[in-house]
Structure 1
Amino acid sequence: MLRQRDFRNFWTAQTVSYMGDQVTSIVLPLIAVMTLDASAADMGLLVTLQQLPLLLFSLHAGAWVDRRGRRRSTMIAANLASAATVATVPLAHFTGSLTLLHLYAVSFVTGTLAVVFSVAVPGLFASLVPREQYLSATSLSRASYSFSFVAGPSVGGAVVQILSAPFALVLDVFSFLVATVLLRAIPDREATGEGTADQEPKPAEAAEDAGKPRDGIREALRFLVATAVLRAKFVSGTALNFFYTVYSTLLILFAARDLGLSAGLVGAVVSVGAVGALIGSAVTTRFSRRLGLGPTYLVGCLVFPAALVMTPLAHGPQWLVVAMLVAGEFVSAFGLMLFDISGATLQQAITPDRLRSRMQGAQMAISYGVRPVGALVAGALGTLLGVRPTLWIAVVGGFVSVLFLFRSPLRRVRDLPDEAEWPRPGAVGTVPTKE
């Protein structure tokens, strides 16, 4: 797929933009801790505001993009707005006017723009990738997000250590601009009426299908409830996102204050997770072909939270602490790629073209929408029980919460499933349950 210029530009832009989002997500908390002396409760609120748009806007953003079409231009606009928003933080820092309230506002706005960008991705993906290449292309596409999820913190921490937090955000602004240039190099097929690789409806047809915003949202939710494989995927993804957010909200505070690690060392530890993610993305296709898509998803769901037990266990001399954190981050990131890539491939294959943005919005609202709740819980439990006990709750809770997958239809899915036959609103017929 990377030999195809348009997909290569799409994939690179996606990678750079997601990396910018994750650098922001780690640098803002570092600024809060090291510059503004934020408490555990402050950190919880900061992360909550960054994740809250997932819960508030994902469904509506997905319905809006399905009606509007023009996914490429939507992604470009989101990137430019993100660059302008992030640029206000180093400006405020250099003028001595930076406050926690400012960081809260930037977290919320950038989180909202990230939602708009993300819901537009599946439709543009379908316009560039033939169905028979979904697994390999999804491995690359989802690897962009998952890799940035683990590599972004390491890049941000390293830049903060070498230069300063404001300079890390300047690089972040630059990343959004680079992604914009790459997206502009992709032909706007929706605007020219050329259609998509999977015969996606033209914008006018998509708008007719989506109907009113609430109708479009209800249709996406009905499709989700009626599709057994996606239902199991959403439930497990929601549980993992909740407990991982509890974990990740307090990780920096725990590593910096309880374990005494510097920002650069924290970044170096997390960077090993990026290596695990790279290896995971490279072998997921092979795993999926040997074990099947569903079993690969199940294995990843178990490995991802279980490996993080090394963090609350960490104690002793610094070399041992670092070694334990490195082992946990590496194996966890490997598991993340297994379940994220296989799960995204299943969703892309099963979901009808005209529902793609709405289903992406539904995933972000449901599975990712629990992140602000997890951040608030992390702040509350970290204050009441302590940081290490809360990390234990997050790790054990994440592992136990996905054990139900052994009885779900996901374990029987071996090959790429067919697209679901979902009737248009008002059509007569039944909805098959995909297994």
Structure 2
Amino acid sequence: MRSNPDFWRFVWANGVTQMGTQVTTVALPLAAVLALDAGALQLGLLSAAQMLAFLLVGLPAGVWVDRVRRLPVLVWSDLVRGLALVTVPLAAWAGVLTVPHLYAVALILGFGTVFFDVAHMSVLPAVVPADRLERGNSALEVTRNVSLLAGPGLGGWLVNLLTAPVALLADSVSYLASALLLSRVRAEERPTEAVQRPSRRERRLRREMAEGLAFVVREPVLRRVAVVGALAMAANSVCAVGFPLYLVKELGVGPGAYGLLLSGAACGALAGATLVPRLTARFGTGATLYGSAALASVLYLPALATGPGWRLAFLPAAGALFGAASSVFGVAQLSHRQRVTPAHLLGRVNAAMRFLMWGAFPLGGLLGGALGERTGGYAVFAVGVAALGLAHLAVVTAPRIRTATAPPPPQRYADRDPA
């Protein structure tokens, strides 16, 4: 794949936009906390707004993406998200920035992310052949985790230097740069003759959405992975409320240090992503999924000891261990999904998985906000951390996954030179 320029443009676009997204992960809640003195419930609503789109259009997005070329969807999604973020520093400079404005921006970001993510996962099989999916997904995961490693620290530094609202300009620029790179990617996106798109009369939105959900429910590995994802996303949303409440408001951690603390998980995730091709080649997809889930279920629990002073080190240390295991799990399950899903269903299956998994995110944000109003930051922090690890028990309790294999699918796209 080294000499495949389209693949590497795709990878670089992924890295650029992921870096900016991690800046927003730090800067958006800090804009609410530091610039607007938002409380726990407002942080919960902000977290929920970012992922509400997965509940509203998560399933139909997959149907729509399957009906069109996916690369233009990626480009337009980046452009919309970049323009939405520009409004935050402009409003701050004009002195009219409000928490509802942040809600609106978060909602727009969510809608753009729904279409981008569904299309992004569906494009890779058109860029690389099926037998290189682990390598392709691993490269994408490495760039994502480099961004996870550097992005929060960069975000904290930019917040210190420029204030949180202005720091969001970095993500806006990253989306525009990603759109430029993606506009130059060429991929064979046409399906084979056996799976041509249906006629207009046969296109029934509800039926086509149901096809994606039905495939996930019938496929035993995807079914369990969807449960893990839903529980983990709800826990992540609780963490999105608990982390700034506990670390910034209660422990007094500054923006720069806050970003660095969040980078810990990316250190392990970066290492884990590079190991996936070798692990799946040696042990198989099923055993890799099962083993990584078993490790992820316990490795984040030491973060519960996070506290003032030297005890802050528990968070990045536990995060690094958890990040390695969860990264292996994520790459392996995505490669399995792409391999077992027919091309004409890929967008709908990806959308169904996103709907089931990310649709739980708003619920976690509301739960975290309500819990924070009644208790304190540490309680929200602890619930999120514990639930994030324990979510993986949904796979650990299904030992038959260890022997799961992915049968080779029928040819889905025109052959491409992987060299």
TM-score (norm 2): 0.91
1:311 CA displacement: 3.2
Which residue does 2:285 correspond to in 1?
293
1:420 CA displacement: 8.6
Question: What is the CA deviation profile of residues 393-424 of structure 1, one whole-angstrom value per residue up to 9, with x for unaligned ones?
Answer: 333334444324234232212x5433399xxx
Which residue does 2:57 correspond to in 1?
57
Q: Which stretches in structure 2 are left out of the alignment for 5+ residues?
A: 412-419
Which residue does 2:401 correspond to in 1?
410
| Mapping of residues 203-222 of structure 1, within 5 Å | 205=197, 211-222=203-214
1:253 CA displacement: 1.9
CA 3–155 in structure 1, closer or farther in 2 if over 3 Å, else same: farther
1:231 CA displacement: 0.8
CA 299–89 in structure 1, closer or farther in 2 if over 3 Å, else same: same
Q: Please tell me whether residue 419 in structure 1 is matched to residue 409 in structure 2.
A: yes
The question of whether the paired residues in 2 share the 8 Å contact of 1:277 and 1:333 is answered with yes
Question: What is the CA deviation profile of residues 184-230 of structure 1, one whole-angstrom value per residue up to 9, with x for unaligned ones?
Answer: 1112644xxxx47xx4878x626769722111101111111211111
The question of whether the paired residues in 2 share the 8 Å contact of 1:288 and 1:342 is answered with yes
The question of whether the paired residues in 2 share the 8 Å contact of 1:250 and 1:382 is answered with yes
Which residue does 1:322 correspond to in 2?
312
Which residue does 2:333 correspond to in 1?
343
Q: Secondary structure at the match of 1:290?
A: helix
The whole-number CA distance in structure 2 between the counterparts of 1:364 and 1:210 is: 25
The question of whether the paired residues in 2 share the 8 Å contact of 1:201 and 1:354 is answered with no
CA 395–72 in structure 1, closer or farther in 2 if over 3 Å, else same: same
The question of whether the paired residues in 2 share the 8 Å contact of 1:244 and 1:305 is answered with no
The question of whether the paired residues in 2 share the 8 Å contact of 1:346 and 1:417 is answered with no
Q: Secondary structure at the match of 1:27?
A: helix
Which residue does 2:235 correspond to in 1?
243
Q: Secondary structure at the match of 2:300?
A: helix
Query: What amino acid does structure 1 have at the position aligned with 2:11?
Result: W
The question of whether the paired residues in 1 share the 8 Å contact of 2:292 and 2:328 is answered with yes
User: Which 10-residue stretch deviates more, 349-358 or 389-398?
Assistant: 389-398
The whole-number CA distance in structure 1 between the counterparts of 2:227 and 2:163 is: 40
CA 383–207 in structure 1, closer or farther in 2 if over 3 Å, else same: farther
Q: Please tell me whether residue 170 in structure 1 is matched to residue 169 in structure 2.
A: yes
Which residue does 1:3 correspond to in 2?
3
The whole-number CA distance in structure 1 between the counterparts of 2:256 and 2:163 is: 11
Query: What amino acid does structure 1 have at the position aligned with 2:33?
Result: V
Q: Please tell me whether residue 14 in structure 1 is matched to residue 6 in structure 2.
A: no
Q: Please tell me whether residue 182 in structure 1 is matched to residue 172 in structure 2.
A: no
Q: Please tell me whether residue 260 in structure 1 is matched to residue 259 in structure 2.
A: no
Query: What amino acid does structure 2 have at the position aligned with 1:412?
Result: T
The question of whether the paired residues in 1 share the 8 Å contact of 2:20 and 2:175 is answered with yes
User: Which 10-residue stretch deviates more, 18-27 or 354-363?
Assistant: 18-27
The whole-number CA distance in structure 2 between the counterparts of 1:407 and 1:364 is: 22
| Mapping of residues 54-93 of structure 1, within 5 Å | 54-67=54-67, 69-93=68-92
CA 188–241 in structure 1, closer or farther in 2 if over 3 Å, else same: same
CA 404–167 in structure 1, closer or farther in 2 if over 3 Å, else same: closer
1:291 CA displacement: 3.0
Which residue does 2:101 correspond to in 1?
102
Which residue does 1:424 correspond to in 2?
none
Which residue does 1:352 correspond to in 2?
342
Which of 362, 382, 390 aligns to 2:372? It is 382
Q: Which stretches in structure 1 are left out of the alignment for 5+ residues?
A: 422-435
Query: What amino acid does structure 1 have at the position aligned with 2:273?
Result: S
1:282 CA displacement: 1.2
CA 405–271 in structure 1, closer or farther in 2 if over 3 Å, else same: closer
The question of whether the paired residues in 2 share the 8 Å contact of 1:14 and 1:141 is answered with yes
Which residue does 1:369 correspond to in 2?
359
The question of whether the paired residues in 2 share the 8 Å contact of 1:274 and 1:333 is answered with yes
Question: What is the CA deviation profile of residues 267-313 of structure 1, one whole-angstrom value per residue up to 9, with x for unaligned ones?
Answer: 11222322222111111222222332222223333433533333331
Question: What is the CA deviation profile of residues 349-374 of structure 1, one whole-angstrom value per residue up to 9, with x for unaligned ones?
Answer: 11111111111111111011100001
| RMSD over aligned Cα atoms | 2.4
Question: What is the CA deviation profile of residues 156-192 of structure 1, one whole-angstrom value per residue up to 9, with x for unaligned ones?
Answer: 22221233223321111111111111111112644xx
The whole-number CA distance in structure 2 between the counterparts of 1:51 and 1:75 is: 18
Q: Secondary structure at the match of 1:9?
A: helix
The whole-number CA distance in structure 2 between the counterparts of 1:209 and 1:272 is: 52
Query: What amino acid does structure 2 have at the position aligned with 1:177?
Result: L
Which residue does 1:33 correspond to in 2?
33
1:22 CA displacement: 3.3
CA 218–39 in structure 1, closer or farther in 2 if over 3 Å, else same: same
Identity of aligned residues (%): 31
Q: Secondary structure at the match of 2:172?
A: helix
Query: What amino acid does structure 1 have at the position aligned with 2:403?
Result: R
1:105 CA displacement: 0.3
CA 142–315 in structure 1, closer or farther in 2 if over 3 Å, else same: closer
The question of whether the paired residues in 1 share the 8 Å contact of 2:242 and 2:384 is answered with no
CA 309–184 in structure 1, closer or farther in 2 if over 3 Å, else same: same
1:111 CA displacement: 0.8
Q: Please tell me whether residue 231 in structure 1 is matched to residue 223 in structure 2.
A: yes
Which of 371, 384, 392 aligns to 2:382? It is 392
Question: What is the CA deviation profile of residues 307-346 of structure 1, one whole-angstrom value per residue up to 9, with x for unaligned ones?
Answer: 3333331235x2x123212202211221221111011111
The whole-number CA distance in structure 2 between the counterparts of 1:210 and 1:277 is: 43
Which residue does 2:113 correspond to in 1?
114
**Equivalent residues, number:** 410
1:241 CA displacement: 1.7
The whole-number CA distance in structure 1 between the counterparts of 2:384 and 2:264 is: 21
CA 245–166 in structure 1, closer or farther in 2 if over 3 Å, else same: closer
Query: What amino acid does structure 1 have at the position aligned with 2:401?
Result: L
Identify which of structures 1 and 2 has the higher relative contact order when contacts are C-alpha pairs closer than 8 Å and 6+ apart: 2
The whole-number CA distance in structure 1 between the counterparts of 2:90 and 2:296 is: 38
Question: What is the CA deviation profile of residues 80-128 of structure 1, one whole-angstrom value per residue up to 9, with x for unaligned ones?
Answer: 1111110000100111110001001000001110111111113321111
